[in-house]
Amino acid sequence: MSNSADIDDREEGLKFQPKFDASGLVTCVATDAATGEVLMVAHMNDEALRKTIASGEAWYFSRSRNALWRKGETSGHIQRVVEMRLDCDQDAVWIRVEQTGAACHTGRHSCFYRKVEAGEGGARLSFVDADRLFDPHAVYRK
């Protein structure tokens, strides 16, 4: 169990001590350094975090593929990290990036291309900023 001295140290200290979840991951939010738009939410394990810090380019850990993943390794759409920040309890990372091309595997600049609004009978979605910058079938050949 954490005690309050541990919490104070993690929240108020300057020691880098990421708090990985049971799967060994922290959450990472990438925003466009120019516009502030959220591009994607993904995960990093210890190795992805270290490689991102050392290289200045975003590395993630893919839960679905269970593998370390250099962003853009297939598509060429890399993310250059302008700044990395860590949240209060050190279990979430925010990177401001210069995105080459598109962040989303669907071909959109951002993964957040649908808006949610209250509607009768429940929430409804609509497309917003949903233009494709590339054709995913051409880029990710199977």
Of these, 126, 131, 133, 140, which contacts a second copy (CB under 8 A)? 126
One-letter amino acid for residue 88 of the chain = C
Q: Does 27 bind a second copy (CB under 8 A)?
A: yes
Query: Binding residue per annotation — 89?
Result: yes
Measured distance CA(1)–CA(37) in Å, rounded: 37
Of these, 36, 135, 138, 141, which contacts a second copy (CB under 8 A)? 36
Of these, 38, 68, 78, 139, which contacts a second copy (CB under 8 A)? 38
First-to-final CA distance of the chain: 46
Q: Does 53 bind a second copy (CB under 8 A)?
A: yes
Q: Does 5 bind a second copy (CB under 8 A)?
A: no
Nearest approach, Cβ of residue 140 and a second copy (Å)? 13
Binders of a second copy among 96-115, rule CB under 8 A? 104-106, 108, 111-115
Assess contact for 10 and 87: CB atoms under 8 A. no
Quick one: 37 or 68, whose CB is closer to a second copy?
37
Nearest approach, Cβ of residue 100 and a second copy (Å)? 18
List beta partners, residue 49. none
List beta partners, residue 64. none
DSSP reduced 3-state for 22: coil
Assess contact for 133 and 109: CB atoms under 8 A. yes
Q: CA 96, 75, 97: angle at the middle one, nearest 5? A: 5
Tokens representing 81? 């990290």
Residue ranges of the binding site for Zn(2+)? 88, 104, 111
Residue ranges of the binding site for Mg(2+)? 87, 89, 91
